[in-house]
Structures are given as structure tokens and as C-alpha cells.
Amino acid sequence: MDASAVERRADATTIFLAGVEAADPRRSVARAIRRSDRGGVLIAGREVSPPGAVRVVAFGKAACLMAEAARSVLHAGLFREAGIAVVNDENHRPVPGFDVRAAGHPVPDRRGADAASAIETLAGSARKGDGLLVLISGGGSALVPAPAEGLGLEEKARVTSLLLASGADIREVNTVRKHLSRLKGGGLAARAQPAAVESLILSDVVGDDVSFIASGPTAPDPTTFADAKEILIQRGIWEDAPVRVRKRIDAGVDGRIAETPKPGDPIFDRVENRIIGGNRISLAAAAEKGRSLGYEVEVLDSPLEGEARFTGALLASRAAGRPRGGRRAILAGGETTVTLRGRGKGGRNQELALAFAIAAGTVLSGRHWTFLSAGTDGRDGPTDAAGAIVDPESLDAATGAGFSPQRALAENDSYAWHEAAGTLLVTGGTGTNVADLQVYLEG
């Protein structure tokens, strides 16, 4: 590998990590908590100070770091009982003053269901004059499953698995989840009444729609049972869904059970949801770092969505349309999907990077380029990699090792291909999650 290729790889990684750093949970929470002049804290615009109490719950991949920040800012006199933090196994760590629990992700498990019940109890203990501070980050929807009456955890887990395998995006997945849960779709806000509720949110959803982040536990839900049913039908998995799931959704469609709370419901009069970090913020930080490294930076206006294999090819074509010469960077963010067709191993970022490399072999022939696609949480699918970083030499390296890029793409086996090419990007868990970032460098 020539010196310029080594430099581009290092620069692409540095730019990506600048985006990750911008979503640091501790700093984001510390900036957001608002103290009052009398030593209390403002929750949803209302001052909570003794004799009121603040209850704190955190869930998501950044739960522990967000809980640490909240504990450091709020003085002990505001806490009446231990907070609860629910996090995935990799990011589990002790936090003073918190009952920290690990739970399953992306498929919910019994540990998460027990943690959700504990959160429900803590929120329900709040009284008028109290405040509930909710710290939400990516992964929170799977980590705190609270099956609706008549449903079991196994049935919710089955539906989640079917949706993920079908290529459903996060909005589709969470629309269905909200109608199978007690806490999602505004359920947590309803449980906390009449306390004031404030959610500080690290967004992993493109567009930062609070009703979809972690399935919107403290936000009004604009979706319906009919929407949930349509998603399952369109994805071809309605008949495969558990019988009791279908019966519940049909009952909701027919009006035999209540809908989730909608915009305008008075339960949200004392609720505030604030985005304190997200993909757009991280993308801006990555762009600033790129410029500081001497690149002319273009940030794509539209977030990346859709099938990873198609998006990768489209990005390569877009890069090919840019003028040659100089040090150029194209940055993007978002979250693509993968429809499982084969039996291989990988993740959406690895598949996107593989598709980019295949297309670039033709449309970017003769150019000196590097492309990175990775998840800001440091994990891409069920693998130990955050994503991958490819360049013109990658195709030759993998082919020389006996790995066909086309076959790997057809079998959803991008991990094995990148492993052979030496292009896996491994960062370890980052403790945050604001979707994915893509970095294209040339020159």
C-alpha cells in the first residue's frame, strides 16, 4: 500500500472518530441538565427541588455514561431512591446511585423485560411536584421490552427477528413495537403522571423524530395499529407473526383496544423531549475535522437509507461524478438496511462498503480513493467490527485470497470478505449510538 493510501485510511478513521466524539454521552447530558438558581433542577420547564424528588431512568447503549453525567450534575439531595440504567452487555459498568442492568440487544430478552418492569414501577412512584428524568440512547427499544397485556416476551422477540430479517427500517420496526408494548409509544410518560417528565435523547434515528427513537416512550405516537399491520403485510411476515400478536393488532385495528396516546393528549402537557446529540451533529463535527485535515468537504443533504448494497453502488457513482484533482471528501450519515438472502455474516456498513468497492472498481478506475462506512456505536450487525474501510487495493487483496466480492454480496457474507481483504474497521464499543457515518476521500 502506497503512502498516500495509508494517509487516506488514517484520515478517514480520524474523521469518523471526530463524529463519534461529538456524540459523547457524558458531555451531552452535562450540557443539557438545567439547574435552577435555588439549587434544584428544571424538568420540563418546572423546577424540582426539595421536597420534590427527581427519579432518573436511563436505557440504551449509552445508558451508563448518561447516568454518570446526570449523577455528577444533580446533587444527592434531589435523589429519593436509586436510578435505573439498562444497557447492553458490552457497555455494562457500575454507576454509583444506580441499579445498572444488562439486557439483550437487538433481540429483547427476559433481563430486559424485568428491567422494564422496574422502570415502570419507579416511574409510577412519582408524585405531583416530582420530576422524572429519562435518558434515552440508541438501542433503548430492544433493551426495555414491556409486552402488552396478553403477549409474552418470546412473541415480541419473534416479531423483532422477523422484521430485522425482512429488511424493515427502524421506523417500521418501532411502529410495530409501539403497538405491542406497555411503555413504548408514550406509555412511559403516561405511567409517570402527574410528575413532570423530561427526556434527554441521543438520537440514532435519521431525522431525529422523537416518536421513533427507542420507540418514543415519552413522545406522542402518530402511528396506528393499522400502520403496524400494513408493515407486517408489506414485509411478507404477517402470516409468520405469532397468533396472539396478530389478534392484538387486529383488535386495535377494529377499535376493540385503545390506541397509543396521540399528539394533543393532555398527558404530554408536562413532558419535554430534547435531542442532545444525533447523526446531524456528528456529521457536522466530522466535516469540521475533514476541513482541518485539508480536504474540500461536501456533506450530503439527504440521509442514507434503503438497501445497503444499492446505496453503496449509488455513492460510488456519485463520487465518480465529482471533478478529479485536489483533496476531496464526501461525508454522509444515516442508517441503511439489509434484507437477508444468504447465510453469511456481516452488517449493513460492511455490506455497503463491499457494494461501494465493487462499483468503484469500474466507475472510479484510475482514481486514488478511500471509503469508510461504520456505526457510531462501534458495532455493525452481529460482528465485532464497526464497519469497513476500503480502497482500490481491497478487491485485489480479497480476490487473491480466494474471495469473490459478488459471491460475498449475494450471500450477505461481507464480514468474511473484508476479513480476507484486511479492511474491517474495529473500534470496540464506543458507549454511544447516533446511527452510521460514511467518509469518502480522494486525492
What 3 state SS string does 159-185 have? Answer: HHHHHHHHCCCHHHHHHHHHCCECCCC
Q: In Å, how far from its chain's centre is CA 346?
A: 17
7 and 109, same domain (yes or no): no
For each of the chain's 443 residues, which pLDDT tens digit applies? 677 999 999 999 999 999 999 999 999 999 898 887 777 888 888 888 766 788 999 999 999 999 999 988 886 667 767 899 999 998 999 999 999 999 999 888 999 999 999 999 999 999 988 899 999 998 899 999 999 999 999 999 899 999 988 989 889 999 999 999 999 999 999 999 999 999 999 998 888 999 999 999 999 999 999 999 999 999 999 999 999 999 999 999 999 999 999 999 999 999 999 999 999 999 999 999 999 999 999 999 999 999 999 999 999 999 999 998 899 999 999 999 999 999 999 999 999 999 999 999 999 999 999 999 999 999 999 999 999 999 999 988 988 889 999 999 999 999 999 999 999 999 998 988 899 999 999 99
pLDDT at 11: 98
269 and 343, same domain (yes or no): no
Tell me whether residue 307 is in a domain: yes
Contact yes or no for 319/332 (Cβ under 8 A): no
Its domain, for residue 321, covers 3-18+280-442
Question: What CATH number does the domain containing 204 carry?
Answer: 3.40.50.10180
Look up cell 463491499; give the residue: 354
pLDDT at 81: 74
Q: Which three cell numbers stand for residue 170?
A: 427502524
Contact yes or no for 349/374 (Cβ under 8 A): yes
pLDDT digits (tens, 9 = 90+) for 355-398: 999 999 999 999 999 999 999 999 999 999 999 999 999 988 98
Question: What CATH number does the domain containing 304 carry?
Answer: 3.40.1480.10
Contact yes or no for 41/78 (Cβ under 8 A): yes
Helix (H, G, I), strand (E, B) or coil at 78: helix
296 and 322, same domain (yes or no): yes
pLDDT digits (tens, 9 = 90+) for 213-226: 999 999 999 999 99
67 and 10, same domain (yes or no): no
| C-alpha–C-alpha distance, residues 200 and 217, integer Å | 12
Number of domains in the chain: 2
7 and 81, same domain (yes or no): no
Contact yes or no for 210/201 (Cβ under 8 A): yes
28 CB burial (10 A radius; 0-12, 13-18, 19+): buried
Q: Which residues of 85-114 are buried (b: 16+ CB within 10 A; e: fewer)?
A: bbbbebbbeebebbbbbbbbbbebbebbbb
- Candidates 422, 370, 426; CA nearest to 401 is 422
374 and 411, same domain (yes or no): yes
